[in-house]
Amino acid sequence: MLAAFVEEFDPRDPLLALRVGERPEPTPPPGWTTIKVKAASINHHDVWSLRGVGISAESLPMILGCDAAGVTPDGEEVVVHAVVADPVGSKAPGRASVLSERHQGTFAETLVVPIANLVPKPAGLSFAEAACLPTAWLTAYNMLFRQADLSPGDTVLVQGASGGLSTALLSLGSAAGLRMWATGRTETGREHAVHSGAAAAFAPGERVPAKVDAVMESVGAATWEHSLKAVRPEGTVVVAGATSGYVAQTELARIFANRLRIVGTAMGSMPDFRRLLAFCDLQGVKPQIHASYPLSDARRAFAAVIDGDVNGKVVLQP
């Protein structure tokens, strides 16, 4: 079967580590099933995997990809929850991983996955739209409604305006009655943020009109100082990534003097995944897709994500 995979890491140039070619058809162990993949979406996690972050050399070759929607052997249309819990009795019982870390990923014509990880695809979502939800959109749902515990009428600043996670935050937050603000490097990015649900968009580092109840932070070093300055006393900064760098200088006095909460998170539970799908279905919320590529053209799709000039998600379709 055709797949996009990594067999040797390249920390400096991840595209050089990407391979697109034939891999053996998988056989599901007990409690797992095969899925004919109809669509899979790219996350920054996949780029980091090419660099060797979060995946061991012993696992190679590894098919990339966390997110997918497809069809079961009996014809059911499903979305795959990407978090796989190791069985009790394993060397790391209870320690979860996402597909493409210890188990082969979704960028293939056929995927094997635990039956318990399958959720019926809402009829109102295409396969491509549904494949955008398991990582970025579930993380966004978790950031807004679990970690920040926001309520309708609250104000939220999203750092970075155009990527898959940022678009998910703006779309979900605005649909839930939150006042969403965003930052963006370019005028085009800021216009996209407003189109995605932001009430206003600002240049990076620009002073916002009022202190916000929470900041959604996935940019990291480049925006960290601005995030701490923008949040109100006793507000929350939720961190789910650091695309501009993991190391950022922090003025600790600002944290304890203003009693700020800094919360780290990633992904979300299966119950929240079901709630996310139901929310999107009931509210008519659909992920924005920047572009779709055939799986055979995965290199061009990855290049678009690495370049960073995307509005929404990039999708692969076998």
Q: What is the pLDDT of residues 111-120, one digit of tens each?
A: 999 999 999 9
Residue 89 in this model has a pLDDT that exceeds 70: no
Residue 276 lies in a domain: no
The helix, strand and coil proportions of the chain, stated in percent and rounded to the nearest 5, come to 30, 25, 40
Distance CA 31, CA 34 (A): 11
Residue 58 in this model has a pLDDT that exceeds 50: yes
What range does the domain containing 252 cover? 135-264
Of 103, 96, 100, nearest to 41 by C-alpha is: 100
pLDDT over 70, % of the chain: 97
Question: What's the total number of domains in the chain?
Answer: 2
Whether residue 220 is found in the same domain as residue 149: yes
CATH label of the domain that carries residue 10: 3.90.180.10
Whether residue 113 is found in the same domain as residue 101: yes
Element spanning 76, H or E: none
Whether residue 119 is found in the same domain as residue 216: no
Strand partners for 113: 33
Whether residue 309 is found in the same domain as residue 236: no
pTM as predicted: 0.92
As a whole number, the mean pLDDT across the chain is 94
Q: Is 83 helix (H, G, I), strand (E, B) or coil?
A: strand
Residue 278 lies in a domain: no
Whether residue 28 is found in the same domain as residue 123: yes
Q: Pick the residue with more confidence: 161 or 183? A: 183
